[in-house]
């Protein structure tokens, strides 16, 4: 059975042997599910659906079978007629991405990594544009080896001061009568592009303001042409939503809340830090922070007083905070606010996060166990993502201390008076982590160490390293 027949059989529900499954997976032709059970001596995988690369091979986009799967005795199958085949068959890459070097980590690399995971051959690393490079020479070089080209237009891109004839010429590039350059607007508006090149502003483009998922969808639709509809139909027949295949590959970037006692480990006041998660800049973030203990006390009071529409303000105090953040990157501090927990030794918070890339829900809990603060935090995609991605794990980020102990929500205010601690530097004071202080310049400093019973200090302090590290980067 040749590779094309194997892929057709998988689409019809047949399951090849493990060696064949792994080889097809290694070649990027199929996606698999791990169904290993506890009694299995090794890993066991089953095919779930064809990747975009597998679908393209099935439709005749490849002249040769994958080298690791095809046996010497097999012959190349006769492929159906394809109007783009003559142009594509000599191209090594599906797409190249041209970008200003400053935009590499924020947009270019995540875009390239996601397209590669979808099965496309992406030429990426050699198209980082620097001052003095020839734009047209770089584009022509890319098109010599690639079916299509993506050019990321940003403030950094236009800061290279390209000659007008090169910018205007970019809008006119065509291959075999069709447009082969797709501009991506990143952090620029139509007026910005018009100021540099009116012809380029009139060219069809996609903006990252719509989110990276929309950008990838636009690019994927062009890369699949003219078999895009057939590919998406086959994905749906396999029980897969084409948009799901894209969205689940993308690591979201957003802002979440995590904190530490202010001034000392047993302080009654906490500093809540706004932290960045993800590989790129988070835009238009709305953070709704809720103290679940205070909200539960208010709820219990209303249950006992059904004829009163609102609980008295003093019953539990402030229970929520709303913050809007226009733009936040992974390279620096975003901000913070102070909070007085109802009980510092037992805390429960919910944070609703809305940003350009979607809606997420954060649950964060704190418990003091044997005198040591332990914590648990999870961040999940919202309801609409779960509806679009049935069967997929919605968890984006989850950490839990091994010694963490779950506690119930508070039903009444604690009777003990809170302990106030000076929030700044204290001479000759040995801080016990986690703790945060405000230095003489007004900046928050996190104590990255924990005292042990023998009097020594270790820097590994469980989940509290969230305070000092960045999470969510795309591995590379």
- Identify whether the C-beta of residue 196 lies closer than 8 Å to the C-beta of residue 213: no
Max CA-CA distance within the chain?
83
Regarding beta strands 122-123 and 181-186, do their DSSP bridges make them parallel or antiparallel, or are they unpaired? unpaired
Q: Which residues are within 8 A (CB) of 378 and not within 5 positions of it... i.e. 6 or more apart?
A: 362, 363, 395, 397, 398, 399
Q: Which residues are within 8 A (CB) of 282 and not within 5 positions of it... i.e. 6 or more apart?
A: 253, 254, 255, 276, 325, 327, 328, 329, 355, 356, 357
Rounded distance, CA 265 to CA 476, Å?
37
Beta strands in 156-236 (DSSP E): 174-175, 178-179, 181-186, 206-207
Distances from the Cα of 324 to the Cαs of 37, 170, 254, 327, 353, in angstroms?
46, 38, 12, 9, 10
DSSP state of 473: P
> Collapsing DSSP states into helix, strand and coil, what is residue 206?
strand
Angle at alpha carbon of residue 222, lines to 221 and 224, rounded to 5° = 70
Q: Which residues are within 8 A (CB) of 180 and not within 5 positions of it... i.e. 6 or more apart?
A: 143, 147, 148, 149, 173, 174
Rounded distance, CA 93 to CA 415, Å?
68
Cα torsion 112, 116, 120, 124 to 10°: value is 40
The partner residues of 287 in beta bridges, in order of sequence, read: 323, 353
Q: Is 5 a catalytic residue?
A: no
End-to-end Cα, the chain, rounded Å: 36
Q: Which residues are within 8 A (CB) of 2 and not within 5 positions of it... i.e. 6 or more apart?
A: 65, 70, 74, 75, 77
The catalytic residue among 44, 74, 166, 217 is: 166
Rounded distance, CA 446 to CA 435, Å?
6
Catalytic residue numbers, as ranges? 166
């Amino acid at each position: 059975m040749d590779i094309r027949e194997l892929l057709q059989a998988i689409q019809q529900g047949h399951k090849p042997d493990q060696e064949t499954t792994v080889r097809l997976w290694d070649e990027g032709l199929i996606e698999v599910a791990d169904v290993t059970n506890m009694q299995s001596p090794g890993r066991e995988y089953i095919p779930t659906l064809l990747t975009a690369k597998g679908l393209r091979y099935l439709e005749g986009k490849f002249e040769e079978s994958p080298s690791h799967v095809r046996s010497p005795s097999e012959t190349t199958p006769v492929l159906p007629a394809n109007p783009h085949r003559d142009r594509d068959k000599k191209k090594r890459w599906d797409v190249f991405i041209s970008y200003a070097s400053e935009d590499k980590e924020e947009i270019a690399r995540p875009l390239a990594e996601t397209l590669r995971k979808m099965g496309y051959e992406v030429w990426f690393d050699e198209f980082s544009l620097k001052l003095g490079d020839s734009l047209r020479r770089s584009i022509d070089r890319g098109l010599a080896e690639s079916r299509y080209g993506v050019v990321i237009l940003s403030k950094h891109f236009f800061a290279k001061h390209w000659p007008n004839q090169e910018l205007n010429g970019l809008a006119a590039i065509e291959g075999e009568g069709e447009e082969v350059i797709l501009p991506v607007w990143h952090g620029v508006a139509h007026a910005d592009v018009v100021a540099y090149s009116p012809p380029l502003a009139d060219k069809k483009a996609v903006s990252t303001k719509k989110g990276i998922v929309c950008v990838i969808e636009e690019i994927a639709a062009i890369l699949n042409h003219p078999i895009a509809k057939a590919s998406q139909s086959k994905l749906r027949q396999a029980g897969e939503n084409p948009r799901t295949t894209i969205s689940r590959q993308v690591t979201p970037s957003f802002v979440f809340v995590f904190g530490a006692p202010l001034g000392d480990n047993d302080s009654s006041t906490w500093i809540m830090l706004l932290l960045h998660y993800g590989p790129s800049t988070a835009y238009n973030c709305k953070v709704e922070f809720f103290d679940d203990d205070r909200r539960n006390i208010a709820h219990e009071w209303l249950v006992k007083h059904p004829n009163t529409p609102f609980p008295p303000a003093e019953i539990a105090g402030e229970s929520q905070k709303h913050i809007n953040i226009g733009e936040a990157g992974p390279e620096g501090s975003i901000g913070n606010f102070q909070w007085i927990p109802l009980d510092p030794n037992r805390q429960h918070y919910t944070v609703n996060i809305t940003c350009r890339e979607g809606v997420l829900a954060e649950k964060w809990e704190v418990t003091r166990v044997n005198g040591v603060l332990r914590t648990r935090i999870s961040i999940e995609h919202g309801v609409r993502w779960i509806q679009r991605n049935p069967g997929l794990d919605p968890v984006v980020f989850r950490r839990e201390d091994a010694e963490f102990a779950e506690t119930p929500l508070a039903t009444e205010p604690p009777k003990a008076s809170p302990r106030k601690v000076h929030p700044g530097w204290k001479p000759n004071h040995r801080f016990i982590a986690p703790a945060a202080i405000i230095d003489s310049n007004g900046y928050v400093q996190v104590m990255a160490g924990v005292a042990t019973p023998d009097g020594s200090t270790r820097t590994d302090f469980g989940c509290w390293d969230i305070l000092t590290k960045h999470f969510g980067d795309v591995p590379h």
